[in-house]
Every structure is written in structure tokens, then in C-alpha cells.
Amino acid sequence: MKILLIRRGAIGDVLMTTPLVRQLRNMYGYAQIDYCTAKSSVVALKNNKNIDNIIALDDNVFSVRGVFQFIKFILSWRKKYDQVFILGKNLSIILLCKLFICKNSKLIGFARGMLPRYILNKFVIYDNVERYQVLYYLDLLMASKLAIPNYSSIAMDLYIADEDKQIIQARLKHMNLINFVVVTNSGGNNEFEKNGIRMLPENKILELLQKLNNNTKVLLMGGANDKVNYDRYCSELSNCYNIAGELSLAQSTYLLNLTEHFYVTDCGAMHMGLIAGIEEKMTCFFGPTNPKHILPSDTKCNIIWEDGDIYDKNYQLYGRFKKEKREYFQRIDINESV
């Protein structure tokens, strides 16, 4: 059997699909399992033993501008796979796969409206943002009838090499850092989204950093997109270090194992904290997203969410807002969060 999984997503989205990949491998050890994703998200799958081939496409191939390149990609494998899992909810990707895929391939994916129900061979209705997203990916395995998923096996997979650990240990020694906290203020500022809607606004992040900086050293961790913002924050603080864009995904995850506490918004780094197993040392800030959809129901994280009455679930379901733009995070009391 040959299986292809397609997930455009950001790094956190791809990480949340790894329990599905693992269970597919456990059930079908002999199968060829390939994973197609954007180049910016490949790091989430690096050295994943459950995947035979990673197919990395330019990020813009998954956009309207890249439609012809995506069609070309589909045509290149249209007779290759028996099962194709579309792990995102983008209707255009579902439609293109249906139009150009070999009719002998089974197409499995999510339905937010009526049309995908007629396009897909097997589908899962995606309509509840109060349910952990990882469980939805396992629903696809159930819908495919390839296997019965194990809903208790939801740990995400990320390979951390000994070399990655050594790099972090040497880096901390060089910086003379023993006791420190890590802060990540990101979310909504990746290759597929530019509004920064899931970030703490500047007045709140500065208040948090100033509070922390009085008692400990602070490492600001994130991607290259976060570096400029972090430089500005660090210019106002003495014991604040900007390491955004300097570490790999695996190195950043190992770093979290060594922190005294991790303050994070709804972004890929939040999932890295779960992988590192530091839930009891995590404070998670939410604004326009429902934490029940992002974190497992038995999480031990300290969840800060004051916008449950104004958030718009259409953002998590469709990636857009139906209501007027709201100001999120402003009701958070930083003093109670630290």
C-alpha cells in the first residue's frame, strides 16, 4: 500500500498530524508513507522514522498564485498512491486533488461545508473548536477504514539528535545561563498568515518581560519573523536575550527542557513545549483561539484566556472573521500570570 499525506500548514499544524502518521506506520509497517508539505514546515518532520519520503513544495504552491504548480505536482503522482489524506481544510486543494487525481486513489479529508462531502471518498465533519485538533486527524484514520485509531496515543513526534542537545548546552554555557525563563510571542505571523493576531500586543508583552526581568534572565525564542520585534523589546531591558531565528526546531525544543518556565502564545512553540513534556512549567496565552482546540483536555498548562466571550470560532474553522475585528488580550492581568 502507498499512502500520501498532504498538509500545507504552519509548523505547529504539521506537528499535530504526527500521531496520525505514527499510527498509520504502526498499523501498516510495510506501507510506503509519504508526506507533502510546504518547505517552511519540513523541519517538523525531519528524521521522522514513520515517513518514507518528505515532499517539500514552495510555500506559494499552496496559494492561489501557485495553482498551476500544484496541478503539476498532482499529475506527477496521480497513479502512485492508493490512499491520499488531505490534512488541511482548504477547499481548493481538495477540489484540485479530486479533478486531477487517479480515480483508483481514495481521497480522505475534512468537510466544513457540503461540497467536500461530495468530492471526498471518505470525510470527517470538522465543526467543533472545543475539541483537540489532534483527535480530528485520528478521525480521518477511522473514516478511511484502514484502522481503528487509538485516541489515547496523541503525543506528537519530533526527533532531537544528541548533536542538538550538545549545541544548546554549549550555547547556554557560553552565555553563562543556568537559571532562565523562555518567552515566545508569536502566532499569526508565518508564511501563510501575516496579521499577528495571536501575539500579545506590545503593551502586554512589554509588561510581561519587565515583570520577569526583575527576577530572572529571559530568553526570547522564536522564528526569523520574530527577531525584529524581539530586538525592540530587548532594547528596553537589561537581562533579556534575543535568540529568535538562531536555533533549529529540535534545538529549541530541547532548550525548553532546561527552562524554569515557558511563557508562550498560540503558535508552533506551544506544541514544542508539549513535546518537551514541560506542561506544568508552561503559561499559555490565548486571545482569538479556543485553548480546547489547541491543547489536550488533560493538559497541566496554566491557561490564560480572558476573551472567551468575544472570540470568533470562524477564525479557527475557516481562517477568517465574520464579526468586526476585536481587540484581544487586553483584559489579561500580567501580574496574575507571572
- Pick from 144, 172, 205: which residue ends a domain? 144
Residue 28 covered by a domain: yes
Say whether both 45 and 131 belong to one domain: yes
Q: What CATH number has the domain bearing residue 76?
A: 3.40.50.2000
CA dihedral 125, 130, 136, 138 (to 10 degrees): -140
Say whether both 87 and 114 belong to one domain: yes
Q: Rounded distance, CA 58 to CA 54, Å?
A: 13
Say whether both 97 and 174 belong to one domain: no
Beta bridge mates, 109? 123
The counts of H helices and E strands in the chain are 14, 12
Q: Rounded distance, CA 61 to CA 204, Å?
A: 36
pLDDT in tens, the chain (338 residues): 999 999 988 899 999 999 999 999 999 999 999 999 999 999 999 999 999 999 999 988 888 788 888 998 888 888 899 999 999 998 889 999 988 887 888 999 999 889 999 999 999 999 999 999 999 999 999 999 999 999 999 999 999 999 999 999 999 999 999 999 999 999 876 666 667 899 999 999 999 999 998 889 999 999 988 999 999 999 888 889 999 999 999 999 999 999 999 999 999 999 999 999 999 999 999 999 999 999 999 999 999 999 999 999 999 988 877 666 678 999 999 998 88
- Using an 8 Å Cβ cutoff, are 285 and 332 in contact? yes
Specify the 3-state DSSP secondary structure of 80.
coil
Domain count, the chain: 2
Q: What's the predicted TM-score (pTM) here?
A: 0.94
Q: Rounded distance, CA 6 to CA 250, Å?
A: 22
Q: Which residue has the cell 532531537?
A: 160
Residue 152 covered by a domain: no
Q: Which three cell numbers stand for residue 198?
A: 495571536
Say whether both 139 and 185 belong to one domain: no
- Pick from 144, 171, 199: which residue ends a domain? 144
Which DSSP letter does residue 48 get?
A: -
Domain that holds residue 44: 2-144
Q: Rounded distance, CA 319 to CA 285, Å?
A: 19
